[in-house]
Structure 1
Amino acid sequence: MAGGEETRKSTDSLAQESSIIDTFAPEARFECPICLAWLRDPVVTACGHRFCRGCIYSWLEREHACPVDNMKLDVEKDIFPDNFTRREISQQKARCPYIVRGCIEELSPLDVESHMIICKFRPPELPENEKLRCQFVDVGCTDKFEDEPELQRHLESEVTKHLSLLSQAYTKITISNQASTSAIAQQANFWDPPAKNEQVSTSEADEGVNALLRAMYEKIVVLEQKSREQDIIISNMSEQINSLNLSMSKMQLRHCNGCYLWYINDFKNKIKDMQKDHHLMFYSPGFYTSANGYKLCVRLNLSPRDPNYIAILIHMMKTEHDNTLEWPFSGRLSITVIHPIESYRNIKETMMTRPELEAFKRPVQDLNPRGFGYTEFVLVEDLKIQEFMRNNTLVIKVQAQPV
């Protein structure tokens, strides 16, 4: 029986120290991929990964390749000291895990484990006749056990009881409770199990639980406030980005020098809609022949004469500087339906304006109702057969050159 108690004592002591050390687990950039601990005497490989010097040297004696990406490595040529990371780790400071017991030492993370062994505030070893306590002792569970398997069976069978104890502890929180120590110390004191030979009263346990939960609640409130602030910032930035994108698109339309590419998305469904309603028309955004030049747009619809064809026409649009332009508009207009892969299949038509037509006179409305172009530009079926609609998008290029 003595042997069993000795095993129980050692196991419990190791578990306690392990839980404390885990709270000082390294960040990913300071963690050795081999030993999963803080980098000791860090080195960096030719493939850019960091390891403890001893870990990678031992590994390469067996494998001869990086354990992360399996790149072949030469110990003599591909391993370099990482002094920058060494300095960063040395600048990391942490208090001794036994701070709640009175130790005020500040250590490098690499020295924490060795310090814990010699720390005078380390909890004493359990007497051999001491029984194991339930891990929920701080919230009121007073059961004790002979060995680890018995404790494990208790934890598995008494889940409801432990949840009830936690709930009761939570309901005891009141605003009038005053924390006797700092929030960090309270939290550490709660999670650090007391020594087995120490007696913890119910009132002390309740006070510790209340202080911890109160500190956690305050942190949650602060985090929620920060989260809300971030949401507002992100929302404002999204609006600014959308506004900038809109401004950029308008600038592109104004400075395209009369050469505009119209990407008509979801083209097949647009054709179906126009086949159902022959009066349905689609218009491109307005574009300019120059920064302060003429403004035009493109119209797409099914031909009123033969709905098997699509019609493509160009309309003049009103601008704030029409009085500085010469009317009627005179120039060359080119319309090209772009093939997405083979440019020699492009369908292109060029025409000269006719000043006597209403379509080229100064617009009275935002959009001149009269258009000029081709009422039977191309068969819809030809567009499908010759695969003009890649990703269900048709591209029409229009060039307008005033003369």
Structure 2
Amino acid sequence: MPGYDYKFLEKLRRKFLCPLCGKAMREPVQVSTCGHRFCDTCLQEFLSEGVFKCPEDQLPLDYAKIYPDRDLETQVMSLTIRCIHSEEGCRWSGQLKQLQAHLNICAFNVIPCPNRCSTKLIRRDLPEHMQHDCPKRKVRCEFCGTDFTGEAYEEHQGCCPQESVYCENKCGARMMRRVLSQHSLVECPKRTQPCPYCNKEFVFDTIQSHQYQCPRFPTPCPNQCGVSSIAREDLSSHIKESCNSALVLCPFKDSGCKHRGPKITMSRHLEETMRVHLSMMSSLVSRQRQEILELRKQVEELSVSSEGVLIWKISDYSRKVQEAKVRGNYESFSPPFYTHKYGYKLQVSAFLNGNGSGEGSYLSVYIRVLPGEYDNLLEWPFSYRVTFSLLDQSDPSLSKPQNITETFNPDPNWKNFQKPGGSRNSLDESTLGFGYPKFISNEDIRKRNYVRDNAIFLRASVEIPQKIIA
């Protein structure tokens, strides 16, 4: 709007207000024919619309009779106003005509930076801007003395070659930046440097101690075999595999040969002592065979049950029955078992095609006492009840199993229940244990599921009083 829109300290009288804009008149003009006054700009805008009448009384207007009202303008310019920045904090007040002079010094007035940096700011912030923020300000580097604009100085900071800085490797040295690169590459004790042997990076002042342990550091063969440069980590392999001067043991050391000499002479030793080595190997094989037999015996003893119960599975039953028919009186033996820990050693035998009175049509079952490890600690003769069972393999959820069971008490006068005196490998009738030649007929075996998946299960158990077990 063309009129003055400032904060006047007193309420304006009507004669100071432009009828068109409602504000204090700016460059007032008077229509001489009717005496009405308007802002010059407001009246020009009104007449530009093609209406040549006074806005107040609608009487015809003549440009020649419109004159500037100097007296009214003087009165308006003498009115008292506040600074246009009063809301920002300026406390100035004065005549309207003094406003421009005040704005030229007002601390709250927005002005452009005199360095033409495109920044506009209030006058009171100008010194701070000129000193610290203006990219066009003049700044002198304190290290090299060169003058820069503020913008160029920001780029120069941190890279001035004359600035004193500490070594980036934290060695403690301080120098001008222009010599820092040379120091870091050549002089700094904390610079990194590759080991010339393993190529790993190390701090310079530790690389010498590293070389005492470097796996690729060249070392001569301690056996003086002629190889002068071997990587430290390869030295052991060289001595073991390649060095002809290394002392080695004879390949027949395990068989008793004590010879030790340089690797290069070992082939001659082997040729000269071939007969001796052969004899040593024969002795070693004999010893090892005996050890294997003893170990096998120990394994068998460890695998023997010691709970007084044996469940013996006879697999491939049909073939073994046919074999028993062909061979006649063919006896099958169970694994041995103990009646209890540190107890009697027993074994069950079976004639699948019968023995004695049951031969040809029965399954015969016997038990006998074997020489055991603890026989000298036990009471003799063996006198504890023994039970044989042929186990029914029928599904218990479908029918109750009907095991074939026989029990007997050993006759203390019978010789086979006396303390064993040696091994019993003879199949003579006199060496049979006690049992049942007609335990179950071959016909009855087929009636239920005593044979299943071509296998039968025989169970032997010994009743030992609890006090003996304890």
Give the TM-score normalised by the residue count of structure 1: 0.36
Structure showing the higher helix proportion among its residues: 1
Give the TM-score normalised by the residue count of structure 2: 0.32
- CA radius of gyration, larger in: 2
Relative contact order, higher structure (CA 8 A, sep 6+): 1
